[in-house]
């Protein structure tokens, strides 16, 4: 079963972002970790990153049309993109929101997620492990 793992803006620069928030892995290393666990769980992962809101919305439309499950770190778009929220709301397969850091323990503008209300659930604050927990949660959801 295919799974789309989408990452929003600045996630491609994890190696130079604040390691106290985001850990030590580069985006490439994070992708490898996700791929290994996804394959172990029987998924065919398709991992993508974009700094462009329109491109992400296009990928969400694609996932809606192909009924593909999605694990989504919308990064800063999480906090204000109603266009991304509307695209998420159109998905037909389950979607899980993830964050490396715990946005609720950070600046006030990060306390709002405009997408939390249209996802199955959210996993935040466990670093790269957030994605691995989301993969396991997705496996369970799809087995039901
Ligand atoms: C993030 C949290 C967001 O607030 C931030 O803008 C990011 C990364 C996370 O994974 O912790 O870019 O989504």
Residue with CA nearest ligand 1 atom 13: 75
Reported as a single tens digit per residue, the pLDDT across 55-100 is: 999 999 999 999 999 999 999 999 999 999 999 999 999 999 999 9
Reported as a single tens digit per residue, the pLDDT across 10-25 is: 999 999 988 888 989 9
Burial class (CB in 10 A: 0-12, 13-18, 19+), 87: buried
What does DSSP assign to residue 101?
Answer: S
Mutate to test the pocket of ligand 1, among 11, 99, 134 (most ligand atoms within 8 A of CB): 99
Residue 23 or 123, more confident: 123
Residue 20: per-residue pLDDT:
86
Assess whether 99 carries a catalytic annotation.
yes
Is the dihedral angle over the CA atoms 92, 69, 118, 52 positive or is it negative?
A: negative
Residue 112: per-residue pLDDT:
98
Find out if CATH 3.40.50.9100 is the number for domain 2-143.
Answer: yes
The pocket around ligand 1, CB under 6 angstroms, is made up of 10, 73, 75-76, 78, 99-101, 103, 110
CA 100 to ligand 1 centroid distance, Å? 7
């Amino acid at each position: 079963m295919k799974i789309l793992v989408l990452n929003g803006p600045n996630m491609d620069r994890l190696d130079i972002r604040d390691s106290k928030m985001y850990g030590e892995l580069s985006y490439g290393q994070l992708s490898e970790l996700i791929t290994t666990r996804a394959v172990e769980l029987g998924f065919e992962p398709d991992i993508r990153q974009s700094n462009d809101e329109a491109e992400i919305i296009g990928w969400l439309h694609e996932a809606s049309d192909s009924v593909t499950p999605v694990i989504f770190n919308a990064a800063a778009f999480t906090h204000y993109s109603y266009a991304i929220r509307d695209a998420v709301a159109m998905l037909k397969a389950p979607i899980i929101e993830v964050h490396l850091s715990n946005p609720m323990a950070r600046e006030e503008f990060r306390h709002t997620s405009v997408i939390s209300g249209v996802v199955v659930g959210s996993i935040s604050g466990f670093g790269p492990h957030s994605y691995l927990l989301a993969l396991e949660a997705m496996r369970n959801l799809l087995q039901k």
